[in-house]
Amino acid sequence: MTSNDQPDARARLRTYFENQDPTTHSTRWEDLWTDEFVPWDKGFPSPSLVDLLNTRDHLPPQQLAPPTGEKERPGQRIRRPRALVPGCGRGYDVLLFASHGYDSYGVESAQSAVKQATELSKGYEDKREEYRVRDEKVGRGEARFLEGDFYKDEWWQEICQGDAEGKTGFDVIYDYTVSRKTLPVYMLSFTHVILVLLRDASCSSLSMGGSDGTASCP
């Protein structure tokens, strides 16, 4: 039985981060990836996200019209919706979003996880049925992985460099790891970051996997 199969995996994780300075969390996540203790990694995209993208309930269209007040010009590129996955791990959900036509971004504090996600993304469209292009007319979006602390803006600045559209945020933020591992005292900061990153909090979707594996869209 591997360490990932042990029934006390969750308890070990809680103990590992309990009463620890939050500024050390990134290093501690890296240590877990280096030790290959990643019980949350199932090796495939979140089933709740697969269902959500297949039904497209509450989600923006796969291609969005020009900004309000602008007319579409001949040859104009209709922008793709943008998806963000905080704490993306090996990037299964980021790749899934891309197969549905989203320009998708994964943020992960553990360098080892980012390296593994980048390696996994090579030729990923042929590795799983979930990763095939879902709509040939829409095509495949970009999948990109960034190392960084979700609560800091270095990774955000990296996206924005040379990309004016990046400064306008994301249409969908899908999270089922960062929020569930955030201490209550930091939840206000988490919510603030989410609202800042969404293009339009009144119409964009925040999808979070619940403890029962379901997805909800506030």
Query: Which of the residue ranges 41-45, 71-75, 105-109 would you say has the lowest mean pLDDT?
Result: 71-75
In the predicted model, is pLDDT for residue 39 greater than 50? Answer: yes
Distance of CA 12 to the CA centre of its chain: 24
Spell out a b/e string for 142-156, using b for 16 or more CB atoms within 10 Å of the CB, else e.
Answer: ebbbbbbebbeeebb
pLDDT given for residue 216 in this prediction:
38
CATH class held by domain 22-37+46-58+79-216: alpha beta
pLDDT of 112 reads 96
Long-range contacts of 114-119 (CB under 8 A, 24+ apart): 114/145, 114/146, 114/147, 116/33, 116/90, 117/88, 117/89, 117/90, 117/91, 117/145, 118/91, 118/145
Query: Is the pLDDT score of 181 beyond 80?
Result: no
Q: Which residues contact 182 (CB under 8 A, 6 or more apart)?
A: 190
Q: What percent of the chain has pLDDT over 90?
A: 27
For range 173-189, the mean pLDDT: 59
Rg of the chain's alpha carbons, rounded to an integer?
18
Q: What is the pLDDT of residues 65-77, one digit of tens each?
A: 444 444 545 554 5
Angstrom distance (rounded) from CA 107 to CA 153 = 11
Q: In the predicted model, is pLDDT for residue 28 greater than 70?
A: yes
The alpha-helical segments, DSSP class H, found in 106-203 are 111-120, 154-160, 187-197
Q: Measured between alpha carbons, how far is 34 from 116 in angstroms, rounded to an integer?
A: 11
CA atoms within 13 A on the CB side of 84: 25
Residue 187 has pLDDT above 70, yes or no: no
Say if residue 42's pLDDT is above 70. yes
> Domain locations in the chain?
22-37+46-58+79-216
pLDDT in tens, 150-178: 878 888 888 877 565 555 688 888 887 65
Q: Please indicate, yes or no, whether the overall pTM of this predicted structure exceeds 0.85.
A: no
Q: Would you call 108 helix, strand, or coil by DSSP? A: strand
